[in-house]
Structure 1
Amino acid sequence: MLTSALIALTVPLAAHPAQAAPAASAVTSMPQCAWSSKYGATSMNAYWPDTAATYWSTVYPVTPGLEITISGVFPDARYASFNVYDDKPTHFTRNGVTSNLPDYLITPDEGSFNPWRSPARPGGRFTLTLTHDVAVGQANRLPLAREDALTGAKASVIFRVYLPAGGESTVVLPTVTLTRDGVSQTLPLCTSGVAAPTPAAAVPAAQDPGPSTTGGSEVPVLPGVPGLPGETGQKVFTRTSEVDNLAPNADNTYLGTWVTPPAADQVVVIRGRAPRAVTGVHPAFWPRPLADMRYWSMCTNLGGQLKPVVINRFPDAPSSYGCRYDDNTRLDRFGYYTYVLGKEQQRTAIEAVDNATFLPFSASYPAAQHMILLRNLLPDADFAHATKNVPVDSPAETAATVMGPYYPLLKVCSLTGLAADGPRRCTT
């Protein structure tokens, strides 16, 4: 049986302050500068960010006649996109037009090239328009707001970049121009809104255990899904609305489960087949032959109001981040990953295990519940085993059936047993 130190829960997401309809007096102000908020491991650590990604946000009020023009250069990165959100915040569709635009669907300016659509170096230019007047088939036009949004309600646009070559400091942020009644204003780039790194100690201890308040029960032993002979583990990962409804990227879907770090010598082992992803940190033609998706990762996160990714900071050593993505995940000869979740002091022993990839629990809050997320970004339409094909809030058994060998199986092992027996057969 699985130790009771491991708890898998699906809990309704607590109401976000922005989910209520805006009152007449709660009116969002027009932005005075562009990209006022920055999210990620090196900035505002909130909403379960991936440590390989950075998000920049501009908030604006729903305003009749307002148009927003975004003009920039295609970044030198694995992936980039724009998402427009309502006040919940979530994406939406207006007149059949989705509020999401991934890199490879952006039409370049005349004389420029999109490096995800043609053999070209990054740096070509693009221009997007956020407007109330959208229709299917229009290039580079996104809905500014929901059709039923109240005037003055909060809306926002987020610019996401994954794995920029040279780091996030090399990303050139697009210009943002507001136009109303024929008058246009190009906003200056914000300087005060770029948040400093959030240390783990800044997360209030009362928030760390996550949304669970009911406790948990022992998870029963379940058989493995089709895969390698002898592959066993627990089916506890699900696709939950708790994750899907939190400022989601329309190109991302997740499987998640809550885990309480086990005690003493034990570690959490997660095994599954790795999808084939694009490699490197530069744009690549998409869709791409022999690639199942653009990017995937596994992350450890804390709960509470901020929902940060785990970052363990040390005074005399580099920080330890709670995400591993496709390129820095070790695989065995069959193409399977083995993530071993443990304490920082167990890292050396874990990394000595053949083909094991270490993921840290929080050093500041070692007893807190952690949300473990498997992220699939922009899967190919023909890849049937992607997390996006799992129904939201369906049972883990359904997720395992849809994903087959790509479903992550989980078990708790002693570190000694893991080293002796291997990840496929380790025992407590």
Structure 2
Amino acid sequence: MRTLSLKQLGVAIACLGLAACMGNTDAGGGTSPAVSPSGNASSPSPSLASTLSAQQAPAGLGCGWQTASDPDRTNIAFPDTSAKYWVASVLLTPGNRLRIDGRYPDARYFSFNVYDPALRPTDALADVEISPKNGRSNPFSTPNGRPGGAYTAYLNYGQSPTQNVSVPRAPNTLYGGNVALGPGGSPNFGLVTLIYRIYVSHSGDYFSGGVPLPQLTLESADGKNTIATLPNCEEPLLPTFGGLAPKQGLNNALVSADYPDQLPTFFPIGTYPPKSAKFFSLPDTVLGIGREQTGVVPPTPDVAPLNGGGGFLSNIHNAYTSTTFNRRYGNIVLVRAKAPTFRGARGVGFNQEQMRYWSICGNEFATQRFTQCAADYQTAIDANGYFTAVVSDLADRPANATAANGFTWLAWGAYPDMVVIYRHMLANPAFKQSIQNQPFGGDLKAGMGEYYPEAAYCDKATFEQSNNPAEVFALCSKYQFDHLKPGS
């Protein structure tokens, strides 16, 4: 083992100690994959933690990735069930950087995002932006490229190109960025949250993409000195204590619950008539709720943090619309739009898709939990190329709300309100109707055109009058204006 300076030793001990108990999460569904500490992209130099293996880290204590998403325990921050998230709290200072040694997963997408203390992403690195080692191909940018090739990426201290386009981006590098405090902000340093995401794994465990977790190594800013290589684990510390905690089935119980009709719908989320809005930031979302519930229109200047920045541990590569509903207006709700093409869809060439991935998820606002999601490949598309998502309790589900008829049904869950989140990921620049291309303060419906998610309340009798999704949506739209009254 190489000799460490006192400064390096102190940093390493602090990092390993804090890594065992810190971590935020933007959770998704599923169970954590089994991974092996072997087979990483490179063999790091010997260091303080390099002798620790997954088997020598009881309950996941001290692992480089401290938290993994889980539908029962960490279902927060409006997750997506087709994704897996791993979270690390990384010590980032002007004198060090994080080296990330990994392998390309066999999956639809993977990325790294880094966040400020307000859980806003400051920078990100998408799979297509990560060059391989040893002359191998990147399967996310090269047709017929094979997964499993090695790459090395870096998390550097300092301002990010995402926040300032004049900052040059080093190859395979993302940046801690600045925290929006005062003019120009201040550097994001100390324990910084890093999230590794995989969407739609094609091989191995459903979420792992058939490769080990990336190896995290703290090193000096110039890369000449290794501070600590953080061990990988088969299961991180949180939320399962290294896989020791039993499954509880909480999410399944909530999804199958039928909200009692006699209970008051006191939570002030949900609008009549329902309409979709693009997510820009947490302050903008809160102001939007206030506008809809009170009728008061406060000034919304086109300045940060209202017009961007994200929040809820959002992904820079995603853009979102949200449509809010409340049971006081109806127990069946619909969201309908023309479906974009996606990578891997039948008849769509590589890099010719309108976006890499899209999905529809039903969520509860206060707890930020998902109930159910449908990814693009899981969503029924009708003869006109539209999807129609139907959300209700199982007891209220219309008999004709089936995939065979072109409907995608999602459970409402044990909540009075419902937030339907529509995601667009890595949109093709030529696809002008993507959510990503819609500006702050613009007309979202006009900008997205037929891809805009229209919404309606309905009742079972009206819904069951037709099996055609376009006709059903028209009937429900008429029903809500003929029979529903604001404040009823």
Shorter-chain TM-score range: 0.7 to 0.9
Q: CA deviation at 1:194?
A: 4.2
* Residues 234-288 of structure 1 deviation map (CA, whole Å, 9 limit, x = unaligned): 5344435237322121100100022123678x5112211111111369xx986x1
User: Hey, what does 1:168 align to over in structure 2?
Assistant: 207
1:405 aligns with 2:405: no
* Residues 158-191 of structure 1 deviation map (CA, whole Å, 9 limit, x = unaligned): 1110001130154420100111482332111244
Measure the CA separation in 2 of the matches of 1:214 and 1:300: 16
User: Hey, what does 2:260 align to over in structure 1?
Assistant: none
Q: CA deviation at 1:414?
A: 1.9
| Partner of residue 434 from structure 2, selected from 372, 375, 386 | 386
* Residues 179-208 of structure 1 deviation map (CA, whole Å, 9 limit, x = unaligned): 1482332111244424246724999xxxxx
Measure the CA separation in 2 of the matches of 1:344 and 1:377: 30
Amino acid corresponding to residue 146 of structure 1 in structure 2: N
1:376 aligns with 2:424: yes
Q: CA deviation at 1:78?
A: 0.5
| Partner of residue 171 from structure 2, selected from 139, 153, 158 | 139
| Partner of residue 303 from structure 1, selected from 361, 365, 373 | 365
User: Hey, what does 1:314 align to over in structure 2?
Assistant: none
| Partner of residue 277 from structure 1, selected from 342, 367, 372 | 342
Is the alpha carbon distance of 1:171 and 1:45 closer, same or farther for their aligned partners in structure 2, counting shifts above 3 Å? farther
| Partner of residue 177 from structure 1, selected from 211, 217, 240 | 217
For the residue of structure 1 that corresponds to 2:426, the secondary structure is: strand
Q: Report the TM-score when normalising by structure 1.
A: 0.74
**Greater relative contact order (CA < 8 Å, ≥ 6 in sequence):** 1
The percentage of aligned residue pairs carrying the same residue is 27
Measure the CA separation in 1 of the matches of 2:312 and 2:236: 25
Measure the CA separation in 2 of the matches of 1:423 and 1:73: 47
Measure the CA separation in 2 of the matches of 1:374 and 1:158: 21
* Residues 375-425 of structure 1 deviation map (CA, whole Å, 9 limit, x = unaligned): 111111111111112234x47xx1101100101111112222222134232
Alpha carbons 1:54, 1:161 under 8 Å: kept: yes
Alpha carbons 1:74, 1:124 under 8 Å: kept: yes
Could you say what the CA RMSD is over the residues aligned between the two structures, in angstroms?
A: 3.2
After superposing the two structures, state which structure 1 stretch, 76-85 or 53-62, moved more. Answer: 53-62
Higher Cα Rg, which structure:
2
User: Hey, what does 2:140 align to over in structure 1?
Assistant: 116
Amino acid corresponding to residue 215 of structure 1 in structure 2: P
User: Hey, what does 2:38 align to over in structure 1?
Assistant: none
Measure the CA separation in 2 of the matches of 1:217 and 1:380: 32
Alpha carbons 1:39, 1:46 under 8 Å: kept: no
Q: CA deviation at 1:345?
A: 2.8
For the residue of structure 2 that corresponds to 1:139, the secondary structure is: coil
* Structure 1 residue ranges without an equivalent (≥5): 1-26, 93-98, 204-211, 221-233, 311-321
Query: What pairs with 1:251-330 in structure 2 (closer than 5 Å)?
Result: 251-261=317-327, 266-279=331-344, 288-289=351-352, 291-304=353-366, 306-310=367-371, 322-330=372-380
* Structure 2 residue ranges without an equivalent (≥5): 1-13, 20-61, 161-166, 180-184, 241-246, 255-264, 286-309, 480-488
User: Hey, what does 1:333 align to over in structure 2?
Assistant: 383
Q: By percentage of residues, which structure has more helix?
A: 2
1:360 aligns with 2:411: yes
1:101 aligns with 2:125: yes
Q: CA deviation at 1:44?
A: 2.1
Amino acid corresponding to residue 354 of structure 1 in structure 2: N
Measure the CA separation in 2 of the matches of 1:260 and 1:214: 8
For the residue of structure 2 that corresponds to 1:424, the secondary structure is: helix
Alpha carbons 1:237, 1:256 under 8 Å: kept: yes
Query: What pairs with 1:50-199 in structure 2 (closer than 5 Å)?
Result: 50-92=80-122, 99-118=123-142, 119-132=144-157, 136-146=168-178, 149=186, 153-166=190-203, 167-169=206-208, 170-180=210-220, 182-190=225-233, 191-196=235-240, 199=250
Alpha carbons 2:100, 2:152 under 8 Å: kept: yes
1:235 aligns with 2:275: yes
Measure the CA separation in 2 of the matches of 1:149 and 1:202: 44
Alpha carbons 1:240, 1:255 under 8 Å: kept: no
